[in-house]
Structure 1
Amino acid sequence: MSGTGGKRSDGDRPLAVRLKTARGRTTSQQQWLNRQLNDPYVTRAKREGYRSRAAFKLVEIDDKYRFLKRGQRVVDLGAAPGGWSQVAAQRVGAAAGQGRVVAIDLLDMAPVAGVDFEMMDFLEPSAPERLKATLGGPADIVLSDMAANATGHKATDHLRIVALVELAAEFAREVLAPGGAFLAKVLQGGTEKTLLADLKRDFAKVVHVKPPASRADSAELYVLATGFRRPLPSPLAGEGGEQSSDCEAGEG
């Protein structure tokens, strides 16, 4: 027996929800809609008032690593539609004035309780200082669930998302307070080795994590870097000379 409302059948298992019509939709569109209709995280997001199923990825990662804490300042890059911002605001107590969350995106975003929104490009030279002014100081956490627009070519898409994460990491270095954390989406592939090496230089701990809400057939996973340490300036800096090109990052 087929179902269209997700009702339960024998064995107390939910029946698959099927599209009533495929008219006017491509095969890929039909597959995406079928997946959405039968995704328990989509159903749960609607029930709990989250704007996207992606909210549960952040929930699950933070439940495991506990890096979001009351009173922290958080930046959410590429925030629209706002699922991650909702979770961050709840966990740092932003709605109660205990913390601060600033969401950044090129697209407009409907207001989220406890979240300040800035429509801007985080790559603009003025973005770090503008952000810190809005936060009232340096950030404790920088979040990025951004993904570059897909081309359909796996190797190209992988390179593009790694490049985007590298830019987000550079932004994080500009705005994070010592001890801060950076969480970003990457793709499994291998070309992220340079990214990981750079993060390990500037953070005390770097781990890969794939939360249960991340679909099993997806190549996405997340990199979580905690314990940010600002690189020490070169001993030659400020003495009229340029910084040494082979200067290693310190552990200040």
Structure 2
Amino acid sequence: MSRPPVKPPSRSLSVFVKSAKSRSPASTAWLKRQLNDPYVAAARQQGWRSRAAFKLLELDDKFKLIHKGVRVLDLGAAPGGWTQVAVKRGAASVLAVDLLPIDPIQGAVVIQGDFTDPDMPVRLTADLGGGADLVLSDMAPNTTGHAATDHIRIVALAEMALDFAVGILSPGGAFVAKVFQGGSEKQILDVLKQNFSHVRHAKPPSSRKESSELYVVAMGFKGRSAEA
């Protein structure tokens, strides 16, 4: 299925945010960034639930992850931007899982729960109608402001998602997860290379330049017999 490339939204005039006694400097800075972020405005205009939708759109344009017949599992899916993309890009079935509630998304099954629960793989496999062809994880912990700690925490989430993906992916499937730049992701890369034919790093254009986030994109799952 052909698709036009994602075009970056046009930038509008900057919005000035006045400081207020009820807001901390950090809150004021966050509000200013949101109001002046063209992707936030574009997401609102186009009906995406978050600016993060553009990241998956861009990753999909580059790596061709979503196509007709693909069964997609979105871990930590709230508020649902990536799930929306998977549905609109033609996936055969889409499951969204999160501890937080997610408003219904037409064309997807939304589950509120913990994907690490022992009974979850069986439940999700049944709902998908078989193993997943693509497992997505845009999960990120609440940041502490300490770069090393934040990096370790997000890599731990990615490792949990990868461990789950290895147990539910069909041979030839793909896995996408958010990580931060830093040395401690080497361990997860080693496991990815053992289990997938192709492993790449990518920073989508919509990812904020000042952010250290990266995405690992692993394709060609070798099957559970390849587990270390």
Same fold (TM over 0.5): yes
Which residue, out of 218, 223, 245, partners 2:216? 223
Within-5 A mapping of 1:49-198:
49-93=47-91, 99-198=92-191
3-state DSSP of counterpart to 1:221: strand
Count of aligned positions = 218
**Contact kept? 2:73, 2:132, Cα under 8 Å:** yes
Equivalence for 2:3: none
For residues 231 and 113 of structure 1, the distance between their equivalents in structure 2, rounded to whole angstroms, comes to: 32
3-state DSSP of counterpart to 1:206: strand
CA displacement 1:37-78 (0-9 Å, x = unmatched): 000000100110000000000000101111111121100000
Change (3 A) 1:77 1:13: closer
When Rg is computed on C-alpha atoms for both structures, the one with the higher figure is 1
3-state DSSP of counterpart to 1:151: coil
Change (3 A) 1:159 1:89: same
For residues 50 and 107 of structure 1, the distance between their equivalents in structure 2, rounded to whole angstroms, comes to: 18
Q: Which has the higher contact order (CA 8 A, sep 6+)?
A: 2
3-state DSSP of counterpart to 1:108: coil
For residues 183 and 171 of structure 1, the distance between their equivalents in structure 2, rounded to whole angstroms, comes to: 12
Unpaired runs of at least 5, structure 2: 1-9
3-state DSSP of counterpart to 1:191: helix
For residues 20 and 113 of structure 1, the distance between their equivalents in structure 2, rounded to whole angstroms, comes to: 39
Instruction: Output the TM-score relative to the length of structure 2.
Output: 0.92
CA displacement 1:151-206 (0-9 Å, x = unmatched): 22111111111111001000000110000000000000010001001100000000
Q: Percent identity?
A: 56
For residues 13 and 84 of structure 1, the distance between their equivalents in structure 2, rounded to whole angstroms, comes to: 23
Unpaired runs of at least 5, structure 1: 1-11, 94-98, 233-248
- Decide which moves more: 207-216 or 13-22: 13-22
3-state DSSP of counterpart to 1:113: coil
For residues 208 and 25 of structure 2, the distance between their equivalents in structure 1, rounded to whole angstroms, comes to: 20
